[in-house]
């Protein structure tokens, strides 16, 4: 396979819509561009380094792909000879260059996906591709190996020009996995799901009964988010949950689906649904996670019409059965729910203005106090605060506030100097408070600027590959609030995917 063809098969490191997957792509230094700057004497040394890296990659079970964007890692894929055969068959039939397409979400984010579709003990290859002319749109092909040779066993036209995700699961329990393909719509939250089974070397489409009470079948389902999970935690199988959004009304609904047999054939039908209260513009992400240690829910991040994000939860009603909307309050933030502390528990954020800022004051950019909480089913389906923090989204960090600091200190941020200054709040007789004495500063700088920054009285708190983060304490008032470098370093955290 040519280098240009292989470039179509790599995962772009520029993609930023990745949710949880069973592998972690790694990005290395861009050797391709760096070599152009190397002299002849250093090239041999770099080749030796690459040889060592190659051995490490093989031992780690990952494969490397070169390209103009650098070296990327991905999970093991079919042998290169198999890819060459599939590439050759596709180009011979198409008669022109093809572009491989990658699912944006889900467990299978590569264009050539090996999977045993008919449970015969041998893996077929599912391939998403499109002609360079894009005249025929995206296509999905099934390649099967028989007699030592690959051949295209089945193919069907897709919808739109991108793939949202692909799901393999045995929904009817017959030992053979069904194939669910989500096609990424041109509009947000308007993806289309189609279902298939690979039978006798052919792709057969599985009908879908669109919604409650309807009797007419469809060949597709419109959805905003999709999840396959054991939401009732009965360990008997997984359930398919879809979330649909009416963008005109801003209303959303979650549905649970099952595959059933009518006597004349199998189809998917909606067996339960629940309304998701709120006024939504779009859904940004979803994640299945445990709560209360033993229960599971679908955590949804929705964007409201005012641009803020809010978290909704869909769970299983252990008493009455079926789906239930767990979190009814309007908890708004600029962040999505996440395992921010890395302890396996999803925290839900909501925000309020820091002291000294007014909601109707547009003279300066206000800063917010973010409360990260966990869902507490026992507390009447509400949130229990875990910690409060001030976030700096521009520089990618946050500072946890000790309880004695909350509502006692506030902050200002100067983007030009990268300095966030914290002040004591001076209460007034009026309805608003005033900025008091400055207590301390947080500042980010380049590694090359660290010595100069330290000469100005700053102490290093943390660093990453690109920035160094420092603090400077300059007020006697700080001691009374137990503000010291040790405490600041302990409370200072870098954001991941902020």
Mean pLDDT per 10-residue section of the chain, whose length is 498 residues: 40 32 32 37 43 39 30 39 80 77 90 92 92 77 91 90 93 93 85 92 86 60 91 86 86 91 82 89 88 84 91 89 87 92 91 87 80 83 90 96 94 95 83 86 96 96 94 84 93 83
pLDDT at 44: 44
Contact 424, 453 (CB under 8 A): no
pLDDT at 163: 93
pLDDT at 78: 46
Contact 133, 95 (CB under 8 A): no
Beta strands in 200-278 (DSSP E): 202-206, 208-209, 221-223, 225-229, 239-246, 251-261, 266-276
pLDDT at 59: 36
Q: What does the alpha-carbon distance between residue 269 and residue 256 come to, in Å, rounded to a whole number? A: 8
Looking at beta carbons, which pairs linking 300-305 to residues 24 or more positions away fall under 8 Å?
300/225, 300/243, 300/276, 301/336, 301/337, 302/252, 302/276, 302/278, 304/278, 304/279, 304/280, 304/332, 305/250, 305/279, 305/280, 305/281
Question: 416 is written with which tokens?
Answer: 């030009």
pLDDT at 10: 35
Q: What does the alpha-carbon distance between residue 155 and residue 140 come to, in Å, rounded to a whole number? A: 6
Q: What does the alpha-carbon distance between residue 405 and residue 491 come to, in Å, rounded to a whole number? A: 12
Contacts of 361 (CB under 8 A, 6+ apart): none
pLDDT at 470: 97
Where residue 263 falls (left for φ over 0; alpha for ψ -120 to 50; beta otherwise) is left
Q: What does the alpha-carbon distance between residue 456 and residue 366 come to, in Å, rounded to a whole number? A: 27
Residues 131-157 pLDDT 10s:
876 666 788 999 999 888 899 999 998
Q: What does the alpha-carbon distance between residue 373 and residue 350 come to, in Å, rounded to a whole number? A: 8
Q: With helix as H, strand as E and coil as C, how does 21-60 read? A: CCCCCCECCCHHHHHCCCCHHHHHHHHHHHHHHHHHHHHC
pLDDT at 39: 45
pLDDT at 328: 80
Centre a 10 Å sphere on the Cβ of residue 249 and count the other Cβ atoms it contains: 9
Contact 71, 65 (CB under 8 A): yes
Q: What does the alpha-carbon distance between residue 252 and residue 274 come to, in Å, rounded to a whole number? A: 9
Question: 426 is written with which tokens?
Answer: 């001076």
pLDDT at 50: 43
Indicate the burial class of 304 (C-beta count within 10 angstroms; 0-12, 13-18, 19 or more): middle
């Amino acid at each position: 396979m040519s280098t240009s063809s292989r470039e179509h098969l790599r995962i772009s490191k520029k993609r930023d819509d990745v949710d949880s997957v069973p592998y972690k792509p790694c990005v290395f230094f861009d050797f391709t561009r760096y070599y152009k700057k190397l002299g002849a004497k250093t090239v041999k040394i770099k080749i030796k380094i690459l040889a060592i890296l190659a051995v490490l990659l093989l031992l780690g079970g990952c494969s490397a792909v070169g390209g103009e964007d650098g070296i990327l890692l991905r999970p093991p894929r079919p042998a290169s000879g198999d890819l060459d055969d599939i590439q050759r068959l596709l180009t011979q039939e198409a008669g022109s260059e093809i572009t491989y397409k990658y699912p944006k979400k889900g467990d299978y984010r590569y264009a050539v996906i090996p999977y045993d579709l008919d449970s015969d003990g041998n893996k077929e290859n599912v391939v998403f591709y499109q002609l360079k002319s894009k005249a025929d749109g995206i296509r999905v092909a099934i390649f099967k190996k028989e007699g030592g040779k690959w051949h295209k066993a089945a193919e069907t036209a897709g919808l739109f020009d991108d793939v949202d995700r692909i799901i393999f699961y045995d929904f009817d329990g017959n030992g053979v996995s069904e194939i669910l393909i989500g096609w990424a719509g041109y509009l947000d939250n308007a993806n289309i799901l189609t279902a298939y089974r690979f039978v006798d070397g052919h792709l057969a489409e599985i009908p879908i009964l669109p919604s409650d009470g309807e009797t007419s079948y469809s060949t597709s389902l419109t959805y905003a988010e999709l999840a396959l999970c054991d939401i009732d935690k009965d360990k008997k199988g997984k359930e398919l949950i879809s979330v649909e959004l009416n963008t005109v009304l801003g209303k959303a609904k979650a549905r649970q689906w099952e595959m059933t047999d009518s006597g004349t054939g199998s189809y998917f039908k909606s067996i339960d649904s629940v309304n998701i209260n709120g006024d939504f513009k779009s859904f940004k992400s979803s994640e299945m996670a445990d709560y209360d240690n033993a229960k599971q829910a679908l955590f949804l991040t929705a964007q409201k019409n005012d641009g803020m994000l809010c978290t909704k939860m869909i769970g299983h009603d252990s008493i009455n059965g079926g789906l239930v909307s767990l979190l009814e309050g309007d908890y708004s933030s600029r962040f999505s729910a996440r395992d921010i502390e890395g302890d396996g528990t999803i925290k839900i954020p909501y925000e309020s203005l820091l002291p000294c800022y007014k909601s109707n004051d547009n003279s300066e950019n206000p800063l917010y106090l973010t409360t990260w909480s966990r869902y507490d089913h026992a507390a009447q389906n509400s949130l229990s605060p875990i910690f409060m923090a001030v976030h700096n989204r521009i520089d990618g960090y946050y500072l946890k506030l000790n309880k004695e600091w909350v509502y006692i200190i506030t902050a200002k941020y100067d983007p030009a100097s990268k300095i966030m200054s914290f002040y004591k709040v001076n209460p007034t007789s009026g309805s608003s408070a005033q900025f008091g004495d400055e207590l301390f500063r947080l500042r980010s700088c380049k590694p090359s600027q660290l010595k100069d920054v330290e000469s100005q009285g700053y102490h290093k708190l943390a660093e990453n590959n690109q920035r160094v983060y420092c603090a400077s304490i300059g007020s006697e008032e700080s001691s009374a609030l137990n503000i010291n470098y040790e405490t600041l370093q302990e409370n200072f955290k870098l954001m991941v995917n902020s």
